[in-house]
Amino acid sequence: SSSYIITNDRMRDHHFNISYNKIVKWKKKNIINYEISKNLPKLFFPKKYSETFQNLNKYTCFFPFNNKENKLQWFFTKIK
DSSP state letter for 39:
T
Instruction: Determine the Cα–Cα distance for residues 72 and 58; give it in Å rounded to an integer.
Output: 24
pLDDT tens by residue, 10-66: 776 666 667 777 777 888 888 999 999 999 999 999 887 777 878 888 888 888 888
pLDDT at 2: 75
Alpha carbon 43 to its chain's center: 15
What are the boundaries of each domain within the chain?
Answer: 1-48, 49-80
CB 23 within 8 A of CB 9: no
The pTM for the full model equals: 0.60
Helix (H/G/I), strand (E/B), else coil: 33: strand
Distance (Å, rounded) from C-alpha 79 to C-alpha 43? 40
